[in-house]
Structure 1
Amino acid sequence: MFEYHGWINVLETAEAEDDDIRVVEARLREIADGIQRRIDDLASPYLLDLRWMNGSLFLHLGGQPNHPAPSLLDLFREVGERAPGSYGLLHVRDDEDGAHGNDVRVLRMVRGRVTEHTEALLSPCVPVLEDPFAG
């Protein structure tokens, strides 16, 4: 089982913007178009929602396929490459991961760069989230 839940605030840059707001929005719309094309290419049956909220662009993703979905992890990283001011979190549980099969992992995006950590609030999965197998 592979479970993932996350979000990204998509930002072109982490710098304060002095440019005309229309120019900034136009650049971000170009980034949004590229991300949306990538989402459409994935054709995932799970949650991949790119939307504008109060003038800001957000990507929400979640699902639970039977096996790991490297393309979704690639998408998370790709957003940071396309929009290096972006930040967000992606929580992943992959019981097929030999090194971290009993952990919830969190991919942390800050200024477009992704690092991976163990989520201390939800790990180890057994016994924090589930009881040990009794039989």
Structure 2
Amino acid sequence: MFEYHGWINVLETAEAEDDDIGLVEARLREIAEGIRRRIDEIATPYLLDLRWMNGSLFLHLAGHPNHRDPEIVDFFREVGERAPGSYGLLHVRDDEDHPHGNDVRVLRMVRGRVTEHTEPLLSPCIPVLEDPFEG
């Protein structure tokens, strides 16, 4: 089982916006088009949504396939490479990920760079989220 939930605020840069807002928006629209093409290539049946909200670009992703989909984690990292000012979180629960099969892992994106951590609020999955199996 592979469960994931995440979001990214897609930003070209972490710098304060230029004086020319039109140029900043045009560059972000180019980034958005590249991300949209990748979303179409991935063609997942799960949530993979890129949208503008109040002038800002956000990506939301979530799913629950039977097995790990490395393309999802790779795509999360790729967005940070395309838009190095971006930040966001991707929570992943993967029971086939040894030695982290009993943890919820969080991929943290800051300034486009991704690091991986154990999510202390949801780990260990047993007994925090589920009772132990009583066979």
What amino acid sits opposite 2:16 in the alignment? A
Q: For the residues of structure 1 that align with 2:113 and 2:98, how far apart are their CA atoms?
A: 25
Identity of aligned residues (%): 85
1:87-116 CA-partner distances (Å, limit 9, x unpaired):
000000000011100000000000000000
* TM-superposed deviation, 1:13: 0.1
What amino acid sits opposite 1:112 in the alignment? G
1:47-74 CA-partner distances (Å, limit 9, x unpaired):
0000000000000000000000100001
* Alignment partner of 1:100 is 2:100: yes
Q: For the residues of structure 2 that align with 1:11 and 1:60, how far apart are their CA atoms?
A: 14
Q: For the residues of structure 2 that align with 1:17 and 1:90, how far apart are their CA atoms?
A: 26
Residue 44 of structure 1 corresponds to which residue in structure 2? Answer: 44
Residue 79 of structure 2 corresponds to which residue in structure 1? Answer: 79
Q: For the residues of structure 2 that align with 1:101 and 1:26, how far apart are their CA atoms?
A: 42
* Alignment partner of 1:112 is 2:112: yes
Question: Given the two structures, how large is their TM-score scaled by the length of structure 1?
Answer: 0.99
* TM-superposed deviation, 1:133: 0.4
* TM-superposed deviation, 1:17: 1.7
What amino acid sits opposite 1:75 in the alignment? F
Which aligned segments of 4 or more residues in structure 1 are displaced greater than 2 angstroms? Answer: none
Structure 1 residue ranges without an equivalent (≥5): none
Structure 2 residue ranges without an equivalent (≥5): none
Question: Given the two structures, how large is their TM-score scaled by the length of structure 2?
Answer: 0.99
The question of whether the paired residues in 1 share the 8 Å contact of 2:18 and 2:24 is answered with no
Residue 6 of structure 1 corresponds to which residue in structure 2? Answer: 6
